[in-house]
Amino acid sequence: MRWIKRNLFFVIGGVFGLGLLGGAVFYGYQGWSRNTAAFGTLNEVYLTLHQLTSQKPSPGNDKINNTDAARDQERQIRDWISQARKHFQPIAPIPKPDSGPVSAALFGDALRRTISQLQREAEAANVLVPPQYDFSFAAEFPLVKFAPGSLDALPTQLGEVRAVSEILFAARVNALDGVQRIRMSDDDANGSLGDYLDDKSVTNGLAVITPYSVVFRAFSPEIAQALAGFASSPSCFVVKGINVQPAGDASAGGSPPAMGGESRVMYQPSGGMAAPANTGRGGLQTVLKEQLLRVTMEVELVKLLPKN
């Protein structure tokens, strides 16, 4: 104690010096920690930049900005999607009320009027249809009440069936034997099996794909017109499959009606076309013998989902 008293100023200075030294050590440690963290962040940024520049394509350099190029390409794709939407026009449901849900009375009246209209259109286009044909809605046609929840889907199907049928009428096929659709209502369980497909609609991130099947009889030019009608429709119809066989050999279609006989294309030595003529001795050679065909066509309707 006497030594401390004799060297009091020295002791006080030493303690003060030790405090300063401790503060310097603490400050240096903080600076070292910040420098270490900053160096680690710099390394991460460097590694990220190195990875980006090593990618193919890379973000670019001072001469080529691949990021801006990617934005331009994205804008071009979005513009193309907007232009392509005109080929995916939705088919209006029947009926389509201005407001509120579709009632049973409203749909029943629209169903009967639409089927009657299709029958008249078939007659005007000289297309034979089965007697009192209901265009796959035989199960719903006599009803005044419909299964719960079915009035959300049946109007859409009715509009699509009309669109499919009118394409065949416009192609002037000889006869429409039937249209098949998927089951969308509990009432469909009581319908004829020939009215329905066993498939279901498929939904992906962009669209809903609904299958249909049509059976009709026609000559090859009318088949080509039907295919062209589906291809040129403002709605997106995709013909997924087609089965063609002579109408006289079709077991499901029965005996085909008289359609004015068969058409023949004759060949002349000069290379021109001649009218049908007697093909007996001395007649022109028949190189194409057209006959009535029975066609089963599988068609899918692609409907884009609403924009988010």
What number is the average pLDDT over the span 126-147?
94
Nearest CA to 213 out of 168, 262, 276, 246 is that of: 168
Tell me the pLDDT tens digit for each residue of 160-194: 999 999 999 999 999 999 999 999 999 998 888 99
Nearest CA to 25 out of 14, 13, 15, 33 is that of: 33
Tell me the pLDDT tens digit for each residue of 82-118: 777 778 899 999 998 888 899 999 999 999 999 999 9
Asked which of 57-61, 200-204, 294-298 is least confident by mean pLDDT, the reply is 57-61
pLDDT at 197: 95
Asked which of 32-46, 57-71, 202-216, 227-241 is least confident by mean pLDDT, the reply is 57-71
Nearest CA to 94 out of 31, 36, 162, 27 is that of: 162
What is the C-alpha separation between 252 and 159, in angstroms, rounded?
A: 27
In the block, tokens 């509009």 appear at 159
pLDDT at 249: 54
pLDDT at 247: 87
Collect all residues with Cβ–Cβ distance below 8 Å to 28 and sequence separation of at least 6: none
70 alpha carbon, distance to own chain's centre: 27
pLDDT at 82: 75
**CB-count exposure of residue 208 (10 Å: 0-12, 13-18, 19+):** middle
305: which 2 tokens?
A: 């989902």
Specify whether the backbone of 45 is left (phi greater than 0), alpha (psi in -120 to 50) or beta. alpha
Neighbours of 180 (CB within 10 A): 20
Please tell me which residue, 16 or 236, carries the higher pLDDT value: 236
What number is the average pLDDT over the span 228-243?
94
Q: Rounded to two decimals, what is the model's pTM?
A: 0.66
Tell me the pLDDT tens digit for each residue of 32-67: 778 788 778 878 877 876 776 666 665 566 566 777
Q: Are 229 and 216 in contact (CB under 8 A)?
A: no
240: which 2 tokens?
A: 């997924």
pLDDT band at 69 (very low <50, low <70, confident <90, very high): confident
Q: What is the mean pLDDT of the chain?
A: 81
- Domains in the chain (CATH in brackets) are 86-256+292-304 (3.30.70.60)
Tell me the pLDDT tens digit for each residue of 266-293: 333 334 444 444 545 556 665 566 789 9
